[in-house]
Amino acid sequence: MNYKEVISNLKDLVYKWDNIKEICDYIILAAVLWDSSDIHIEPLTSYVRLRYRLDWELREILEYQNFLHSWVIARFKIMSDLKIDESRVPQDWRISTTIEWKSLDLRVSTLPTVHWEKIVMRIVDKSKQIPSLNTLWIEGNNFTLLEKAISLPNGIILTSGPTWSGKSTTLYSVLTNLNKIWVNIMTLEDPVENQVDWINQSQVKPDIWYSFANGLRTALRQDPDIIMVWEMRDKETVDIAVEASLTWHLVLSTIHTNSASETITRVLNMWVQPFLIPASFNIIIAQRLVRKLCSCKKKIGLKDVWPQTLANIKNAISLTSKTELENRVWDKLKNPFFYEPVGCDLCGWDWYKWRVWLYEVLEITPGVKEMILSGASAFSINRQAIKDWMISLEQDGIMKALNWLTSLEEVYRVAKSQKG
């Protein structure tokens, strides 16, 4: 069955108020067949809403009556070993299963609301192969800087971005590239999303005081060459990571910030001394995922682009190094045109199919180092980094739009230019 047939069957079961087990199975099956990343089951005033997240957007699938919700919640709690009789506090765990020959982890989270419990399930496909660095759309100077950073024996490589921006995929791709028989690689993860041969992966458990900071201290006693810390959440973890990078270890991690330059101010706000950042950080990566245009796209010229968008493009391109433009899009800029979505049966009339990464890679150049030591703002650091040939998220998005991978509308939805 395809996902449309499954959803049709699901609607029939909900209408008949019958077989809760089958209803729950179909909720998961439809999401997997539709390649969704999250399942949202939300109790509202007069009904319950089921939505799937597909390529970052939530799509409403169906509605059902409130009295069914307690049974649905109970079924999913049983599947994920949660307490059925506890609805006053949030709970979370996971379901491991196999659907359509795919090995899946469903990260289940419940949350009490004013109506009843909301449940969200994040779908992690463990059967997917980790992509190589060459397939992540890291291009031009960005790829050169990343290759240089991972070739160094020590330092910190930090990736930033919102949830589901592909940070963990980037780190796993880097680890796969570095994974050699003569290298000791250790990871501290929450949770372990992909199990990789030859890498020592450890699941942190904060409820029994096995935190990232405690795990990192122990990992440093295990003679590692490379350490991946899932997230820099607190000052203690950052301090130990900086110390590890200064004592001949390569450290990879993630952090939640909006841009590479804001990552620097976030680290400084964790009371890391400014002089330690140039000494310990190799590069800082900010990234986003934008939806990729389906093959039904149609060509548009500059005259069809909104005036404000055109002004933003001209401003962003004027800040980009000419060398980078010559390498990647100079010929296209002589007679530029873009594509916009149309809709067809292949993409389900949603205009887009799959996703593409946008990257900005900030190197600690002498100019950026001077800015950090002088206490400059994130905006000033960003402008200096662009002067030193950093390609911003907006610029990388424009270049990918010029290469007909995505639309300008999608670029400016995800990677808006910074104000200032």
pLDDT score of 253: 96
Higher pLDDT, 51 or 344: 51
In percent, the amount of the chain with pLDDT more than 90 equals 47
What is the reported pTM? 0.84
pLDDT digits (tens, 9 = 90+) for 69-84: 989 999 999 998 899 9
pLDDT score of 322: 66
Nearest in space to 292 (alpha carbons), one of 359, 361, 336, 357: 357
For the cut 90, the answer to whether the pLDDT of residue 344 exceeds it is no
Higher pLDDT, 227 or 387: 227
pLDDT score of 283: 96
Distance CA 291, CA 309 (A): 18
Higher pLDDT, 220 or 292: 220
Span 286-295, mean pLDDT? 87
pLDDT digits (tens, 9 = 90+) for 92-126: 888 888 887 788 888 899 999 998 899 999 998 87
For the cut 90, the answer to whether the pLDDT of residue 401 exceeds it is no
pLDDT digits (tens, 9 = 90+) for 305-336: 777 777 777 777 777 666 666 566 666 666 67
* Confidence band of 346 (pLDDT split at 50, 70, 90): low
pLDDT score of 267: 95
pLDDT digits (tens, 9 = 90+) for 123-177: 988 777 888 888 888 988 899 999 999 999 999 999 998 877 889 899 999 999 9
